Amino acid sequence: MEFAKQAQTGHKGAMTSQDKTTQSQKDSDTSGERIAKRIARAGICSRREAEQRIQEGRVSVNGEVISSPALNVTAQDKIMIDGKRLPQADISRLWRYHKPRGLIVSAKDEKGRETIFDKLPETLPRVISVGRLDYDSEGLLLLTNDGALARHLELPSTGWSRRYKVRVQGRVNEETLESLKNGITIDGVRYGEIEASLETQMTSNAWVQISIKEGKNREVRRIMEHLGHPVSRLIRLSYGPFQLGRLEKGQVEEVKQAVLIEQLGGAESKSAKAGIDSPPPRHAKKPQRKSGASKSAAKNQRKPVLKLAKSGAGKGKKAPVGRGKPRTKPSRKG
């Protein structure tokens, strides 16, 4: 994963960012990185999907079709997928997207329903989603051009909570919601710690706020249905530090590079490890000559395994990205 480089200052004799890049490139000549990871970083698909395409014989390296992902490649190798040259890995970028109800989070739908990719602006590069939201769910969905970054942000080990505002049927018992903090087992599936609180109780419906860290398939819906409260509306408000905020339905907004670096905790770039140097985005501003690194991630969250370029942005407490309450207003009708 590669981020726009910023000029750094330091003690005399310290290795500069250019020196580190040169050394990384030398190391990559002999080590490189796994081909599936390289494909994911190019934003074509996830690492798992890349491995599947390799096994299907759809990938070639230097003119030879390969059948196993157990292969390291470098920037000098010519990689082809379905007869097309694999593009150079761009810097890792992230977008906040307000997904409306009635869209599938998938490249294609066997039932012919519209997908989010049918509705995204044509100005966006090729992107993949960080996790998913159901057809009937709405709210914040993160998009990225980096498959490795997407996979990392999906892992529970990242320690990021997903927060939802949920409308459910019936009258909700607050003590039952409180008991979810110890987790719950449903049909043999164990769901970890869940933070849930009653927000508004109406005659036949209620609004509940729920925070989870695992993000298993239909987790929130299954938990509430198990408690006797089928979900009639589900809105994701945040994913880790990234907030839905005031994004309108269907709106997309890119997370600034400095903010992305700060929120991910400043770890060394995987792309740099592989010796693959990517150009900064066309809209990138001229680097500022600032020193100092961002503070590490919050104590209750594990540091990401990805390391990023240092940034002098923000020495205070990290603010959520996309602050402001969402425009979605709860309905008081059953």
Mean pLDDT for the stretch of residues 247-268:
86
pLDDT of res. 327:
53
* Structural domain boundaries, residue 64: 17-85
Contacting residues for 310 by C-beta, under 8 A, at least 6 apart: 6, 8, 261, 266, 292, 293, 294
Does 2 fall in a domain? no
Q: How far is CA 219 from CA 74, 156, 185, 247, 318, in A?
A: 40, 14, 11, 25, 28
Does 116 fall in a domain? no
- For residue range 129-159, list pLDDT tens digits in order: 999 999 999 999 999 988 888 888 998 888 8
Helix/strand/coil percent split, the chain, to 5: 20, 25, 55
Does 218 fall in a domain? yes
Q: Which residues are catalytic?
A: 134
Asked if 142 and 159 count as a contact pair (C-beta separation under 8 A), the reply is: no
Q: What is the mean pLDDT of the chain?
A: 78
Listed residues 169, 203, 237: the one ending a domain: 237
Does 38 fall in a domain? yes
- Give the CATH number for residue 59: 3.10.290.10
- Give the CATH number for residue 199: 3.30.70.1560
Which residue in the block uniquely carries the two structure tokens 């990384």? 24
Question: Total domain count for the chain?
Answer: 2
Does 192 fall in a domain? yes
CA–CA distance, 172 with 221 (Å, rounded to integer):
15
pLDDT at 247 exceeding the cut of 70: yes
Does 176 fall in a domain? yes
Neighbours of 43 (CB within 10 A): 22
Does 169 fall in a domain? yes
Listed residues 25, 60, 85: the one ending a domain: 85
- For residue range 79-116, list pLDDT tens digits in order: 999 999 998 777 889 999 999 999 999 988 888 999 99
pLDDT at 24 exceeding the cut of 50: no
Does 319 fall in a domain? no
Listed residues 187, 207, 237: the one ending a domain: 237
CA–CA distance, 302 with 265 (Å, rounded to integer):
10
pLDDT at 119 exceeding the cut of 50: yes
